[in-house]
Amino acid sequence: MAELIPHIDVNPKGDVKALVVWMHGLGDSGHGFAPIVPEFNLPDELGIRFVFPHAPVRPITVNNGVPMRGWYDIVSFDFDNRADDSGVIESAVELQALIDNELTTYNLTPDKLVIAGFSQGGVMAYHLGCRQAQPIAGILSLSAYLAMPNQLAEQASDAAKPTPIMAMHGNHDEIVPIELGRLSAETVKQAGFSLDWLEYNMQHNICPEQVEQIGTWLAQKLG
């Protein structure tokens, strides 16, 4: 078996009964979001395990080729071509292997899985979640957009379409313009998914109100 993508985890106090796989943004690592888990105030009895993978280090074209952790290269700021398709697909394969291993290891069914991510990680959450072979508990995409938007309608899994999606975005986002987030959300809906869209008075970050709502949403979907 190929080596799994490096990751860190935050485990519940008792048995593992559910799983959240959360991808970080460009230049960050799995350590970036791990400290936020206690702020969700999730009940111990839900037994939610969080896994935070680390993206590989790669040159990023729009950053003058400077190497940093990224799930894919960003080759332009155009909506249809913003993400490097081959990088997205390569990362998706590695992340899916990690997800499958986690579900098998802890004897969990897909309905106890949430795929989440921020920025580039949210792009991967959209990409992976919409292509799952079975419906999962939820997809959480934060301050993100769609990779390969023109291919989603054809590639989306019919089995995944009942999966609830929550997309959140700051209306002053200077990195991923909110118009790009809105257009992506609409594309996901047109592909047959049910999506809740929430906007916040913030930039490219996470705010306390959002953290509280994420905690409530996770408890509902994984309860």
Q: Which one-letter DSSP state was computed for residue 74?
A: B
Site of tokens 């106090």: 13
SS3 content of the chain, % helix, strand, coil (to 5): 40, 25, 35
CA distance 212 to 209: 5
Residue 55 phi, psi dihedral angles, 5° rounding: -70, 155
Confirm if 156 and 165 have CB atoms less than 8 A apart.
no
Q: Which residues are catalytic?
A: 119, 173, 204
98 token code pair: 């990690």
DSSP state of 161: T
What b/e string do you get for 56-93 counting C-beta neighbours within 10 Å, with b at 16 or more?
A: bebebeeeeeeeebbbbbbeeeebeebbbeebbeebbe
